[in-house]
């Protein structure tokens, strides 16, 4: 029995950009924090996980959107997990073929993309209710936002934890690496610092907007 779909809203630029900043899956929605904290001890690991997540997110959203009118409501979550697991398996084999060393560094977190709240959440909340093009655009934005967050964490942790970026030495040999940064606690520390910075920026933007509106209101009254 097919599901009745509502008329979807038009495709706008905001559908793509929302996931990059406004609704960033890590810094705003706090989704997928397990791989965020676990694999971001280097930029390469962060990029690899981000690209893998983009591939799975875009492909699974496209297929879920295509099949949304044919998937029975009672088994939709199970079906979404099967679709996601199929693409995760493809990514798993591709990373093994490209770089076994990278695959070993990422460990089980590639397979855990199947249960990533970001991937499953977009399939349920967006792809199952919208057309293919809009679902792919939204998935791409979310994936890029997720990758951006991973790289932001990974660059800080690698720089402070090893004095390097992408394997190239940045600081002099006299620099004493902050070993804690490449350990699990370093992930929490750097994530907290980025959240503090982003929330401070957002609060200042809101305060500036309120002040501008108040000044405009006063000018109109006078």
pLDDT tens digits, 155-165:
999 999 888 88
Q: What is the mean pLDDT of the chain?
A: 88
Residue 4 covered by a domain: no
Nearest Cα residue to 91 out of 74, 116, 72: 116
Eight-class DSSP state of 71: S
Number of Cβ within 10 Å of residue 212's Cβ equals: 10
Residue 181 covered by a domain: yes
Q: For residue 211, which phi and psi values (nearest 5 degrees)?
A: -65, -40
Which structural domain, as residue segments, surrounds residue 133? Answer: 13-204
User: 164 has which bridge partners?
Assistant: 169
Global pTM value: 0.86
Q: Which residues of the chain have pLDDT under 70?
A: 1-8, 222
- pLDDT per position as a tens digit, 82-134: 999 999 999 999 999 998 888 888 888 888 888 788 898 888 889 888 899 99
Give the list of residues 6+ apart from residue 114 with CB closer than 8 angstroms, or none.
Answer: 81, 84, 85, 88
Rounded Cα–Cα distance for residues 222 and 216 (Å): 10
Q: Are 54 and 142 in contact (CB under 8 A)?
A: no
Rounded Cα–Cα distance for residues 111 and 124 (Å): 20
Residue 152 covered by a domain: yes
Rounded Cα–Cα distance for residues 160 and 179 (Å): 8
Q: How many domains does the chain have?
A: 1
Residue 215 covered by a domain: no
Q: Quote the pLDDT of residue 7.
A: 62
Residue 219 covered by a domain: no
């Amino acid at each position: 029995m097919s599901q009745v779909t509502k008329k979807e809203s038009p495709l706008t630029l905001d559908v793509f950009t929302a996931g990059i900043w406004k609704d960033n899956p890590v810094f705003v929605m706090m989704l997928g924090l397990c791989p965020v904290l676990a694999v971001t001890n280097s930029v390469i690991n962060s990029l690899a996980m981000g690209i893998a997540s983009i591939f799975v997110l875009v492909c699974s959203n496209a297929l879920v959107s295509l099949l949304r009118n044919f998937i029975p409501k009672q088994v939709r979550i199970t079906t979404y997990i099967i679709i996601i697991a199929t693409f995760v398996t493809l990514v798993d084999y591709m990373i093994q073929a490209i770089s076994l060393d990278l695959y070993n560094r990422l460990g089980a977190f590639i397979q855990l993309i199947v249960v990533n709240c970001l991937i499953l959440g977009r399939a349920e909340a967006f792809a199952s209710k919208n057309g293919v093009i809009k679902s792919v655009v939204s998935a791409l934005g979310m994936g890029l936002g997720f990758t951006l967050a991973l790289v932001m964490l990974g660059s800080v942790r690698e720089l402070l934890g090893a004095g390097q970026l992408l394997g190239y030495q940045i600081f002099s040999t006299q620099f004493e690496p902050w070993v804690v940064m490449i350990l699990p606690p370093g992930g929490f520390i750097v994530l907290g610092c980025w959240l503090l910075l982003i929330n401070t920026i957002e609060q200042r933007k809101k305060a500036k907007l309120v002040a501008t509106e108040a000044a405009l209101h006063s000018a109109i009254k006078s």
